[in-house]
Structure 1
Amino acid sequence: MTSAPGPRAGDRPAESEARPSGPDARSGTGALIDRYGRTAIDLRVSLTDRCNLRCTYCMPAEGLPWLPRGEVLTDDEVVRLVRVAVERLGITEVRFTGGEPLIRPGLVDIVARVARLTPRPRLSLTTNGLGLDRLAAPLRAAGLDRVNVSLDTVDDERYARITRRRRLADVRAGLAAAATAGLRPVKINAVLLRGINDDEAPALLRFALAHGYQLRFIEQMPLDAQHGWDRTAMVTADEILAALSDQFTLRPDPVDRAGAPAETWLVDGHVDSTGGPARVGVIGSVTRPFCGDCDRTRLTADGQIRNCLFATAESDLRTPLREGADDTDLADRWRAATWPKRAGHGIDDPTFLQPHRPMSAIGG
């Protein structure tokens, strides 16, 4: 199949509802290819929309209306759809997300069953870290390879202000347990918020370096339930790098990012937990979009396929799954959902619409 020219990050062509027209689209075989020739190999699986924190940039203090239990995929349904993705669609990376995936009762068993698939995908988890001190060892034994832990501050009072919970000590314990269990590299995801923790980039990096964790800063994105995101208040990738460069010597990482969302820099004078050069990353989702190299597809907790984090439409796999669709049909539907993926998220476009679902319901 001849690929279309690669997309520019800011392009937003009209959404197409047509099924793919390429030779792999209806055959029951073939990868998840979109109309720009990008291939999805990284699957993000949301296991729940529920969360035990109330981060100010994600949801209101009172929480959100959660999905009814009957609409959430069962453990068997999750494993089956992941199996279809791995065996028929070429998925090689599976990341479990939420909400908060550690509160999913069947998490360890789901990980163990996915780890037994052939070919075996690389398995990771994005978590807020609450409960990771108890679950790190069982998850590693089940087959989990590594974790990303969300941590925006190392100050107790700021943590309470951001998350509306006083649980920083529990997150620190979870990070330590993950490292001890061998869930390496242990990565930290941090979001800087104007007027709250925007001065904390160097402190977060010092914390990560001291414990052998890998730090990634993420620009705040328009995915809050309140729809209150304001680009002018966002701490940008350039600001983060400037703050880090004031106290550290950073050099561009010579390793090709190969579709990874983070741009990384070597931190001179520091080594990581393996003895190699320490790195820090910045995910400039808004100001430095990487849409042209995007290789992700998303499955929500209620069985919807999203071909982009910022998609305004979803494709239902739960209904056909529960109505008896076979694996070939499910795979074809997934391919059809992938084909019309837009060239870029279009945040800078005046017609940009924030997704109806917040991040907690989409999955990271």
Structure 2
Amino acid sequence: MHPLDTLGRPIRDLRISVTDRCNFRCAYCMPKSVFGHDYRFMDRRELLSFEELERVARAFVALGVEKIRLTGGEPLLRKELEGLVARLATIDGLDLTLTTNASLLARKAQALRDAGLDRINVSLDSLDDATFKAMNDVDFPVSRVLEGIDAATAVGLPVKVNAVVKRGVNDAGVVDMARHFRGTGHALRFIEYMDVGTTNGWRLDDVVPAAEIVERIDAVFPLEAVESAYRGEVARRWRYRDGAGEIGVIASVTEPFCGDCTRARISAEGKLYTCLFAIRGTDLRALVRSGATDDELRDEIAGVWTRRADRYSEIRTEGTAELPRIEMSYIGG
């Protein structure tokens, strides 16, 4: 059974948040002003165990999921995460990836690769040290992220680099980012600053449109468009005309792609969300811990998906800005 939602969209991608904790305090995700020392992180007992996560993952794969990405918070803060990777890597035909800020990647890369991880996505918003430290708000240097990328590359893990672009903060460095990663084999993705959650003070004026990012880079390093590789591909891709690689832009604000969205998300304590901008989720942890059978678990997930009608980015208005939404640090990017 491969269910379709109310708009005919299949379920192909699953993002699993393995922890709500993060050692960065990026203003667009987990700002210190809100998530200070008094913020209550989940107790370990509240989190889905690796065994429970594997069971949920297998239920989703049976319903058509082909790619799972592990997220957080910062997923490498979850102890012995490579154990979960090893469990999920036994699922046939699954593309298994992980998104990280790379703060712990240099020491973890080999174990992740040995466990069966296929690829790594690294968040790096600027190559300028002062800018990057201001954005992560914990004084973490660019050099340590680059060390993590090098370590992943050395053990054979392909790397994508993701940069959230905010006007007046780091947009002046997009060409420098392109210059640095050209010819390295690393795919670079620029992400429009999104109104995920309600704590990041998002304003439309802070968004640098993807078209503007492409225009800036094209003026220095000529680009040409690349066809989408599959339905639901989030990034619009552009390659350098001289063959030095490619960039991608994720334009969820200025060019919404809800019509082809095939993603579901699981929060760290096991709630299923069918949109990054969701208001509420479905508690799968309670179902798993109640003794439900695999068939009952799959039926619950399929039922949620077939009722799905989410298309927030296509209907974004001043009115939707007031809706309560799940924070990115809780649900993953």
| TM-score normalized with structure 1 length | 0.86
Contact preservation (8 Å) 1:310, 1:354: no
Aligned to 2:329: 360
Is 2:128 the counterpart of 1:139?
no
Aligned to 1:318: 285
Task: State the distance in 2 between where 1:354 and 1:78 align.
Answer: 30
Alignment partner of 1:341 out of 279, 289, 308 = 308
SS in 1 for 2:98: strand
Task: State the distance in 1 between where 2:309 and 2:177 align.
Answer: 35
Alignment partner of 2:259 out of 292, 303, 320 = 292
Q: How does 1:1-364 map to 2 (within 5 A)?
A: 30-61=1-32, 62=36, 64-86=39-61, 88-117=62-91, 119-164=92-137, 165-184=139-158, 186-224=159-197, 226-271=199-244, 278-346=245-313, 348-352=316-320, 353-364=322-333
Q: How many angstroms does 1:210 deviate by?
A: 4.6
SS in 1 for 2:211: helix
Task: State the distance in 1 between where 2:235 and 2:26 align.
Answer: 23
The amino acid across from 2:82 in the alignment is V
Task: State the distance in 2 between where 1:171 and 1:95 align.
Answer: 20
Contact preservation (8 Å) 2:103, 2:145: yes
Q: Which deviates further from its counterpart, 209-218 or 64-73?
A: 64-73
The amino acid across from 1:74 in the alignment is S
Task: State the distance in 2 between where 1:82 and 1:343 align.
Answer: 22
Task: State the distance in 1 between where 2:282 and 2:227 align.
Answer: 38
SS in 1 for 2:239: strand
State the identity as a percent: 40
Task: State the distance in 1 between where 2:11 and 2:133 align.
Answer: 37
CA RMSD of aligned residues (A): 1.6
SS in 2 for 1:169: helix
SS in 1 for 2:157: coil
> What whole-Å deviation, never above 9, does each CA across 1:227-261 have from its counterpart, x for those lacking one?
41111221111221121122110111145453210
Structure 1 runs of 4+ aligned residues shifted over 6 Å read none
SS in 2 for 1:191: strand
Task: State the distance in 1 between where 2:155 and 2:93 align.
Answer: 20
The amino acid across from 1:197 in the alignment is N
Task: State the distance in 2 between where 1:299 and 1:331 align.
Answer: 14
Task: State the distance in 1 between where 2:130 and 2:332 align.
Answer: 27
Task: State the distance in 2 between where 1:144 and 1:91 align.
Answer: 17
SS in 1 for 2:88: helix
Question: Using a 3 Å threshold, how does the CA distance of structure 1 residues 132 and 355 change in structure 2: closer, same or farther?
Answer: farther
Question: Using a 3 Å threshold, how does the CA distance of structure 1 residues 225 and 66 change in structure 2: closer, same or farther?
Answer: farther
| TM-score normalized with structure 2 length | 0.93
Q: How many angstroms does 1:363 deviate by?
A: 1.2
Contact preservation (8 Å) 1:42, 1:297: yes
Contact preservation (8 Å) 1:75, 1:110: yes
Question: Using a 3 Å threshold, how does the CA distance of structure 1 residues 354 and 133 change in structure 2: closer, same or farther?
Answer: farther
Q: How many angstroms does 1:51 deviate by?
A: 0.3
Task: State the distance in 2 between where 1:343 and 1:300 align.
Answer: 18
Q: Note the residue ranges of structure 1 that are not aligned, 5 or more in a row.
A: 1-29, 272-277
Task: State the distance in 1 between where 2:218 and 2:203 align.
Answer: 26
